[in-house]
């Protein structure tokens, strides 16, 4: 792997990591669970989908009729809706244990995907020089710290680049998040003089 491609990989991976942290692990777990439910062949999950679909149909049908004009039909639909609602709640409770196990597996996968590549880069490419700074541009202690631990003085390796890029991208992401999510301040109107 060329030095420039390693530099680009580290930078892009750190940006991916920051975006992923901004999205949040809980949202990813929830999306993964929803996707798993859509493609799963388990009978319990299919039954839950059928119950939810029937609940929606009954809700639409019940909302379309008047409780006063067609009381018998509305009451029958309401009893059926309550029965299905209880069945849906029971199914969701029984799937809760499976969901926790699934979330634990997804959490491990997330941890591996978001941390393992950087550890591999640090381990396998620790002695690779990404770029060098001309001699005597920076003070000697700074040059030593930049080349820490295994490189010639004045060169920057993956370990220092990961550290520096992580800090800078963290600051940039914090600033962007503040600008995007901060509440808008309205300019107060000038008071009109009372007559």
pLDDT tens per residue across span 101-116: 999 999 999 999 999 9
d(CA 55, CA 61): 10
Contact partners, residue 165, CB within 8 Å, separation at least 6: 10, 11, 14
Q: What is the pLDDT of residue 70?
A: 83
Digitized pLDDT (tens) for each residue of the chain, 195 residues in all:
788 898 899 999 998 998 888 888 999 999 999 898 888 878 888 888 899 999 999 999 888 888 787 888 888 988 999 999 999 998 888 888 888 999 999 999 999 999 999 999 988 988 888 888 888 888 888 888 888 777 888 888 888 889 999 999 889 888 988 888 888 878 888 888 876
Q: What is the pLDDT of residue 101?
A: 92
Reported as type and span, the H/E element at residue 30 is: helix 25-39
Q: Is the pTM of this model over 0.85?
A: no
Q: What is the pLDDT of residue 111?
A: 93
d(CA 99, CA 29): 10
Pull the structure tokens for residue 67: 């409780």
Over the Cα atoms of the chain, what is R_g?
29
Q: What is the pLDDT of residue 117?
A: 93
Q: What is the pLDDT of residue 57?
A: 93
All structural domains of the chain with their residue ranges: 3-181
Interval 84-100: pLDDT, tens: 999 999 888 888 888 89
């Amino acid at each position: 792997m060329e030095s420039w491609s390693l530099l680009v990989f580290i930078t892009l991976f750190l940006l991916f990591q920051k975006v992923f942290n901004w999205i949040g692990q809980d949202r990813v777990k929830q999306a993964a669970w929803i996707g798993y439910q859509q493609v799963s062949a388990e009978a319990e999950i299919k039954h839950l989908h059928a119950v939810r679909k029937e609940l929606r149909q009954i809700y639409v049908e019940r909302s379309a009729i008047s409780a006063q004009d067609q009381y018998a039909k509305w009451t029958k639909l309401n009893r059926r809706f309550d029965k299905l609602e209880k069945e849906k709640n029971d199914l969701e409770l029984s799937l809760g244990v499976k969901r926790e196990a699934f979330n634990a597996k997804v959490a491990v996968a997330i941890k591996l995907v978001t941390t393992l590549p950087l550890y591999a880069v640090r381990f396998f490419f620790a002695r690779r020089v990404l770029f060098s700074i001309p001699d005597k541009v920076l003070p000697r202690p700074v040059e030593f710290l930049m080349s820490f631990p295994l490189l010639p003085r004045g060169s920057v390796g993956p370990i220092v680049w990961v550290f520096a890029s992580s800090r800078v991208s963290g600051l940039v992401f914090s600033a962007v998040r503040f600008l995007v999510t901060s509440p808008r301040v309205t300019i107060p109107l000038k008071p009109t003089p009372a007559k």
